[in-house]
């Protein structure tokens, strides 16, 4: 952990973008299975993480979102549908939050690049 301000870099951070496996292979919808991540900062106890994540189109039904997460879309689009059927589509410049435990459907319709801040 650092005690200095941290710039979030659109293209990744000190290690650059590396392979990620948060999305199940069968959830990808376009034949492209690209998924990359780069952590910019992690709290010593792992309770807060921030960085950039890139993912090809996919669709997942999530029974309970695993963390509290605030996101800003940099590229692409994602549609999040809550358990009442209300759908919101987020595109570049949009910032949104999903609380831990929220049931939702997560559908990336165009390769997504986002900044994230996770509070476990």
Residue 12 lies in a domain: no
Above 90 in pLDDT, residue 85? Answer: yes
Above 60 in pLDDT, residue 51? Answer: yes
Provide the whole-model pTM: 0.94
CATH code for the domain of 102: 2.60.120.10
Mean predicted confidence (pLDDT) in 44-54:
95
Domain range for 67 is 18-119
Above 70 in pLDDT, residue 74? Answer: yes
Residue 113 lies in a domain: yes
Reported confidence tier of residue 1, pLDDT bands at 50, 70, 90: low
Residue 11 lies in a domain: no
Above 90 in pLDDT, residue 4? Answer: no
- The pLDDT value recorded for residue 55 is 98
Residue 108 lies in a domain: yes
Residue 6 lies in a domain: no
Residue 61 lies in a domain: yes
Residue 5 lies in a domain: no
Domain count, the chain: 1
Which is it for the CA torsion 67, 2, 34, 117, positive or negative? positive
């Amino acid at each position: 952990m650092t005690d200095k301000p941290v710039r979030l870099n659109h293209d990744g951070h000190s290690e650059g973008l590396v392979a990620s496996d948060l999305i199940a292979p069968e959830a990808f919808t376009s034949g492209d299975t690209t998924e990359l991540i780069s952590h910019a900062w992690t709290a010593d106890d792992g309770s807060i993480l921030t960085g950039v994540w890139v993912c090809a189109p996919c669709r997942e039904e999530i029974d309970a979102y695993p963390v509290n997460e605030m996101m800003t879309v940099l590229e692409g689009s994602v549609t999040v549908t809550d358990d009442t059927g209300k759908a919101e589509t987020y595109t570049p410049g949009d910032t949104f939050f999903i609380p831990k435990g929220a049931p939702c459907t997560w559908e990336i319709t165009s390769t997504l690049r986002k900044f994230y801040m996770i509070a476990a």
